[in-house]
Amino acid sequence: METRNFQELVANSWQNGLYGCLGLDPDVSKIPACVKGSGVIGRIYQFLTDIIDESKDVVGFFKPNLAFFERYGSTGIQTLKELICRINIVAPGKPIILDAKKNEIGNSNLGYVDFVFNYLGVDAVTVNPYLGLLALKPFFQKKEKGIIVLCRTSNEESDEFQGQRVELTKRLKEEITIYSPSAQSFLGEFDETIPLYLVVAHRAHVYNKTFHNVGLVTGATYPEDLKPIRQIAGSMPFLLPGIGVQSKTGDLEADLRAVLENGFYQPEGNVIINVARAALYRSQSDDYAPKCRDYFVNFNGIINTWRASL
């Protein structure tokens, strides 16, 4: 099998003006009644294949969420693998990001690496930094893959840990400015502490200098926080969940503009903007797949209009 390189696939989507990521989060209670299939998992497969086939040319990325498939045990995992194969057939140049939030201690991660990349065959995975970023080395060593670290997540309660203040020591401040000179413009705004998520962004940036395949999960629900994260992280790709159902404004254009103005990295953009429920469940009739496609056509139009104004 030909080796796929996440960085090259991502760059191709960006060059084609595709920044939208379709989150594959199947909730059988929201799937239209008209969708037929053998049992629950059969209906999920039919629904998602219809969506994938219809939207393959208007989205830049696909992001299945592992939890929505694990709940069905081995059958769910097998269905996920079949969907990944389907994407590779109908949209062979589109990166597949597994939302799994994995991490373990040291060599224990080798099992996750084998499952995610060798068994499922995805191009990138989300990971959590709580055990320390060095623990993720088995992931980082997969140079052709994308390793996307949770930094500033989109959920309302994320500040419980991510927003905790960390002492801004002289050594930490110097280290941040050495790796990210542009961060000097905002570090002066902090007196003695900074939010933990900025420390995570910095440490991920440090590891990216060595491995060159690290990205950050940065919630679109906190667009004002994207600017300092971007100043620390430089050109690292941002996976941005939170557009759509989690929106605080309910205005797609306003939400996208806020994200782009604070997180876009010139010239490629370096953003992967995820939408799941708001796109998947736009219709309860047999036009559910075209309605999902229409959402991303509008989505792309908003972004292209914004880019043309630069």
Number of domains comprising the chain = 1
Residue 307 domain flag: no
Digit-coded pLDDT (tens) for 256-298: 999 999 999 988 899 999 999 999 999 999 999 999 999 999 9
Residue 308 domain flag: no
Output the tens digit of pLDDT for each of the chain's 310 residues.
Answer: 568 999 999 999 999 999 999 999 999 999 999 999 999 999 999 999 999 999 999 999 999 999 999 999 999 999 999 999 999 999 999 999 999 999 998 789 999 999 999 999 999 999 999 999 999 999 999 999 999 999 999 999 999 999 999 999 999 999 999 999 989 888 888 878 999 999 999 999 999 999 999 999 999 999 999 999 999 999 999 999 999 877 777 899 999 999 999 999 988 899 999 999 999 999 999 999 999 999 999 999 999 999 999 7
Residue 306 domain flag: no
Digit-coded pLDDT (tens) for 124-171: 999 999 999 999 999 999 999 999 999 999 999 999 999 999 999 999
Residue 305 domain flag: no
**Contact call for residues 154 and 275 (beta carbons, < 8 A):** no
Which one of 56, 94, 101, 145 is the catalytic residue? 101
Residue 30's domain is classified under what CATH number?
3.20.20.70
Residue 201 domain flag: yes
Reported pTM: 0.96
Amino acid at 94: K
Active site residue 209: no
Residue 71 domain flag: yes
Range(s) of the domain holding residue 126:
6-298
Residue 197 domain flag: yes
Residue 32 domain flag: yes
Give the sign of the dihedral formed by CA 27, CA 31, CA 33, CA 38: negative
* pLDDT the model gives residue 2: 64
